[in-house]
Amino acid sequence: MIDGEKNIYLQTNDAVRKFAPGGQLVWEWIPKRALVEEMPDTGFLSQGAFYVSTTAGWIYAISMVAGDVLWKTKLPSTDGNNGWVTVHEGIVLTGSDARTEYKGQPREDKMADQFVTGLNASDGKVMWNFKPDAPLWNFMGSFAGDGTFTFQDYEGKAYRCRVDDGSLIWKNGGVENSWTDGTSLLGPNKVVYTVSNRNLQGGQDAPGDVSAYQLEDGKLLWRTEVPRPPNNLPAIGRLAGHSGLSLVQPIGQQCQQGAPTDVYALDAQSGKVQWIFNGPSQKGLLQAGDRIPAAMAQRSLAKVRPITLPNPWSAPTIDSNGVVFIGSEEGPFYALADKDGDGQVTNAEVSSIDTGACFSGSAAAAIAPGMLVATSIDAMYVFTH
């Protein structure tokens, strides 16, 4: 993340570090861990604090200035998937109480958060817990700015709840007994976008759906099939060559050798496909940089997981020129734009740098005037002009 003075906050599984705009380390914060404890959920900057969760269930508010702890709160647990902590209207939103449970029954293949938890952003006090119909995976809450927030469960069901007490306003959609590695997003057009998979077991390169629901009442506006699992968070913004809002959705099945990956741009109002970028297929048994012995040893020394098993793409980011920035599981970090308007992003319309390593699914590029920051699983890249 980048603050208003262009300081950079880099979060890894074991630490949070603040860098000055020129790259100098300002401070480093490492949780005092009695047991193995990671920070896979991307933190959030708000009102002078960096808010972050750990897999041991700790929620921290860290001073942006000094890097010391302002408050900490212990929840039962949080899962080890890559989600997001979000903060607005005085409330911190996070998933909590990770268990291998699905609707009251054991599900040993999925350790997932059972609750959405709201905490007071000033002191960390737990305000409420809300239990969705299905567990949470890569959870992110989106604030509507009207005292409500939205999210999806891992079946792709959309929810709208109140910020002050977590009470339900509406819920809609989803595929019973399914699972997705994707995340919902609330757009500035007051539309909730969710992703879901049709393959009930997961782990196969099968079609999925991107759905759009009206914020006010949860009415389904449109649903677009994509040929591969939409296993990540979309981004919404104005793309080069298009006047209205567009939704950029990465798709693909990770951790499957030979599986192709793509990026789809959809019209945010209709769901119509605007352009497609055909990305690389997974070459090896694992994604780029994930099975290098020296890197695995470094991660073990840091007491974090030795392999990543990431989403097929990082989360996308759209800049003010309508260019999409996104990292691939095979290592390239791309800049994409359909310059000729033919519906395919190819050749001269693609710019990339090969990082040699995959990207966490929650590692969206951060952009500030004259600066772009991207992070693969083993390095931070800062582009300036």
Share of the chain above pLDDT 70, in %: 98
**Average of pLDDT values for 357-361?**
95
pLDDT on residue 201: 59
**Rounded CA separation 311/60 (Å):** 26
Structure tokens given for 28: 């480093």
Amino acid in the structure at residue 261: T
- pLDDT, tens digit, for every residue of 192-208? 999 999 876 555 789 99
pLDDT on residue 11: 96
Of the pLDDT bands very low, low, confident and very high (cuts 50, 70, 90), residue 352 is: very high
Residue 327 phi/psi, 5-degree rounding, is -105, 140
**Average of pLDDT values for 2-22?**
96
- The answer to whether residue 329 scores a pLDDT higher than 60 is yes
- The answer to whether residue 35 scores a pLDDT higher than 80 is no
Mean pLDDT of the chain: 95
Q: In what order do the strands lie in the sheet with 317-318?
A: 317-318, 324-327, 332-336, 350-354
- pLDDT, tens digit, for every residue of 142-161? 999 999 999 999 999 999 99
- pLDDT, tens digit, for every residue of 132-143? 999 999 999 999
Of the pLDDT bands very low, low, confident and very high (cuts 50, 70, 90), residue 109 is: confident
Structure tokens given for 46: 């708000």
Q: Which domains does the chain have, with CATH numbers?
A: 235-385 (2.40.128)
- pLDDT, tens digit, for every residue of 283-319? 999 999 998 999 999 888 888 889 999 999 999 999 9
- pLDDT, tens digit, for every residue of 45-55? 999 999 999 99
Handedness of CA 204, 196, 287, 327 (dihedral sign): positive
pLDDT on residue 202: 57
Share of the chain above pLDDT 90, in %: 89
Of the pLDDT bands very low, low, confident and very high (cuts 50, 70, 90), residue 66 is: very high
pLDDT on residue 203: 59
In the chain, the N- to C-terminal Cα span, in Å, equals: 18
**Average of pLDDT values for 274-286?**
96
- The answer to whether residue 39 scores a pLDDT higher than 70 is yes
**Average of pLDDT values for 257-273?**
97
Amino acid in the structure at residue 6: K
pLDDT on residue 302: 83
